[in-house]
Structure 1
């Protein structure tokens, strides 16, 4: 037999093997369209802010009555590998209010491989875009463009006919709840890439209103939803509707890619941008990031997932 089995990809319900393809084409996607088992990764390996919350508890509370949930905490369980992620029908990777390597280079590579093989992914956190600015991971996996960071007080429905927006009333604005500590949080201000859609945007009470808050990307291989804030900031009923809608969307046929001719990127208003990134609680003097929010120890910029200073 001339063609040997080149690679096998194993999902929770599907195994795909193929002979080596001389054209370099990817094997068929193993993305599950029937959601039963979900892995929630609480990525707390970055630097902590005052509240030290990943939002993993909120995801578990929302989904555990309907789905089989496994929670993985990176600080105690280590970094899950690709084989672990592919045992589940969907993966939720949540960094909450952690920042500065809130997703390590190793984990970014694993998530990239997971999406390339075919998968369902929710990414959620206040500083994912800040940590991965100017990288392939931010552009091609998160499908976002980092602008700045600023206080956020609410989200507003932007695309009412998308499955993630189901049962939200047109024009819905949802006010954030206070952080547990009462300290303000400055989530990333982001724009979406031209191949993605904005489902919710920053609302009228937020700084940088109109910036993307929930971004959705889908093709025939993968579906990715990015919440550019920790979901613990949402009221419980909104957490439930948003997250359940997103998981239900995973089981639906992918929509066509957006019309690139209609792409209107968001541009942050520099006059209202935050001037300082909140200090982490472990390094109050900004040891791992300077006072302008520029990470002096992070080597992600312009080099894909190469980050030798990652905290694992």
Structure 2
């Protein structure tokens, strides 16, 4: 208030000085007094308003409430990126919303999820307005119901201030009271980039013009609360550059290192000066600390001597809770930039070993590549370096036989001395199938620099799927979705395909139009597809107006993924298997590691599918299963669609259990729970698959021990059509393929046939139907 008194005194002095007033001298004093009087009233009202406090807009009004979105955090929803112009308060759909102070309704919008009611300088958004209210009505704080939380949104968006002059409603002397927040923000990382680029320094060894990029999570709830309460934007953030021993500050933005402070909302034109666009999203707030609000800027390391320094970053919330992180950096005048990160194409097992392929890196100073392998995803070994994997190479083959999964990753190195090594590629793996059953894992998760929860440059999610397959006795190959698109890998060569999408969507499509065509053809030919991801239905369904889906996208979702979109966020992180489905009796948790899954889709069965998993304690569906024909196909195929990412299932044991259910469904192993080679105890013959079939089918057998086996096919009159096997086989699971031909290689006619398996003096038979 002392500052306000000083301003008023200065204004009074200014007005009373006659040289500033174009009025006669004899009336000057009267005019001045009047002007000062009104200015005083105006400024006092302004001061009171700028520091006003009010209760919450939801019950109970005078108790603290949770917050899922803070003022001026990053938003990438809608048509353009922008600063969040208010505060999000999570409450159940349908809960009433009240004004926080008396006033008059000055505007309303009643259509869709962005409906709102504005009372003077406060807007209450994402509510269904009270039908009995209209513009001009007088409303009473804590009494008049303005509306109810809009269905499916689960929060009210509270905007304090008129459009273009929004204010922070979370300050100690301004906004909500009481507001209790004892939880400090967490600085997740500090990275260094070449100014105004996506080129990251892989280590804290920097040169030239440098951007300091920082991810911060403001914690508006305890560690046990939902992720949406713990990944908000910060109030204050800044940095300082110190000498190596931190005794001297070399540089700090004014004042005292503070770079950004959000009391009022800046123009949205500056949002990309504040936030690093490629790493920021609604749930991930990454700041470019070296920029100014209104312009690009950088840390000019050329002004410093080569050597080691310390970058200190600090962040503070509106309650004074703070976090500080010190990062030692080395400034050098030499080339400190590595080549681009390689992109894996595929890893696949061959009869003679394993083949690894990658897409070329285009750096002019590229020297070559390095290949690393691991058996356990923790301990990595350099196997081949740039001396052999030179710049022009894009694949390599290892003539080594192996019986367990081998995981692989690549890096690129340049010609500098010592060479700069790139970030590692994604981790892929391969394992030969003990029975020639081929399963392909397609890595469709490209999202690292757009909205979503995972923002590391590489991931190992395909390998987690591979581990679950191996635990169930299945081999596998891995491929990037780009390899499927460019024809490097053919889906139709595999008996089953596992397509992982993580939390892909928004910037990166889940299934592109070209990918949809390939998946359609695979399923129409009787393929088996297991797909998982949290934003698939959201991305493909036109019912969601926030995505850019087409009619073709929705048709693919409905008729090939056999699901319909219900909601963007189930808000539940436990699922249970439904009775009579492949997941019956299964319970598991997900959504914490390796990244926080904050928007799991809710879906419903469509086109003949069956709901298989349910979000615990709700009627919302988390997975569907389907068996039958797809599109114009005549050969039955199978599908399992999981509406959250498989890799975020909490434990390896739970991942293995869910994968076992999927494999049992795909390969008719429901009666063969003990059919893996190391646990087989009895002679079992499964129903062939597919059945009926029109070109080829598979016959699966489990042997409890090694011995002589005969696999023969007969017509219904008992005539031998084809002898598929007569000889010795080891204990375990075996698959035999029949292409519908007789011993002469001639195609046989449509009809019923019998396959008879003889082992250890016992013969088992089943019927199958060939349809042409």
When normalised by structure 1's length, the TM-score is 0.61
Structure 1 residues 81 and 108: alpha-carbon distance in aligned structure 2, compared to 1, 3 A threshold: farther
Matched, 1:226 2:641: yes
Call closer, same or farther: CA 1:105–1:186 in 2, change over 3 Å. Answer: same
- Structure 1 residues 35, 186: closer, same or farther in 2, change over 3 A? farther
1:198 positional shift: 1.2
Aligned residue for 1:240, secondary structure, equals helix
Instruction: Name the CA distance, whole Å, in 2 between partners of 1:230 and 1:243.
Output: 13
1:35 and 1:216, CA in 2 relative to 1: closer, same or farther beyond 3 A?
farther
**Structure 1 moving runs of 4+ over 4 Å:** 80-83
Cα RMSD after superposing both structures: 2.7
1:152 lines up with 2:572 in the alignment? yes
Report the alpha carbon displacement of residue 83 of structure 1 after superposing the two structures with TM: 7.2
**SS at structure 1 position matched to 2:476:** strand
Output the CA distance in 2 between the equivalents of 1:123 and 1:74: 13
Residue 250 of structure 1: aligned partner: 666
Q: Is the 8 A contact 1:139 1:145 kept in 2?
A: yes
Matched, 1:89 2:89: no
Offset from partner CA, 1:149-207 (integer Å, 9 cap, x none): 11231101212x33x22xx63xx5422251334x4520111111151111111112xxx
Quote the residue 1:264 is aligned against: none
Counterpart check, 1:51 vs 2:454: yes
Alignment of 1:117-266 (within 5 A): 117-134=525-542, 135-150=554-569, 151-159=571-579, 161-162=580-581, 164-165=582-583, 169=585, 172-181=586-595, 183-204=596-617, 209-219=618-628, 221-234=636-649, 235-252=651-668
3-state SS in 2 of match to 1:68? coil
Equivalents in 2 of 1:35, 1:152: separation in Å? 39
Q: Kindly state the Cα deviation for residue 48 of structure 1 after the two structures are TM-superposed.
A: 5.5
Deviation of residue 89 (structure 1)? 0.8
Q: Residue by residue, what CA displacement relative to the aligned partner does 1:201-231 show, whole Å, maximum 9, x if unpaired?
A: 1112xxxx22211210001510010011101
C-alpha distance in 2, partners of 1:74/1:223? 20
| Contact in 1 for aligned 2:594/2:647 (Cα 8 Å) | no
Select which of 443, 467, 478 maps to 1:71. 478
The answer on whether the counterparts of 2:441 and 2:497 sit within 8 Å (CA) in structure 1 is yes
Aligned to 1:14: none
Stretches of structure 1 lacking an aligned partner (at least 5 in a row) = 1-33, 256-312
More helix by share: 1
Structure number with the higher strand fraction is 2
Radius of gyration: which is bigger?
A: 2
Segment drifting more, 53-62 vs 131-140: 53-62
- Structure 1 segment 267-306 matched on structure 2, within 5 A: none
Return the structure number with greater relative CO, CA threshold 8 A, min gap 6.
1
Distance 1:211 1:200 in 2: 9
Ranges in structure 2 where 5+ consecutive residues have no aligned partner = 1-434, 543-553, 629-634, 669-686, 691-772
CA contact (8 A) 1:192 1:198 kept: yes
Residue 43 of structure 1 deviates from its aligned partner by 0.3
The equivalent of 1:98 in structure 2 is: 504
Corresponding residue number in structure 2 for 1:291: none
Alignment partner of 1:60 is 2:503? no
Answer whether contact 2:484 2:491 (CA < 8 A) is retained. Answer: no
- Cα deviation for residue 73 of structure 1 reads 1.7
Give yes or no for contact 1:216–1:224 (8 Å, CA) kept in 2. Answer: yes
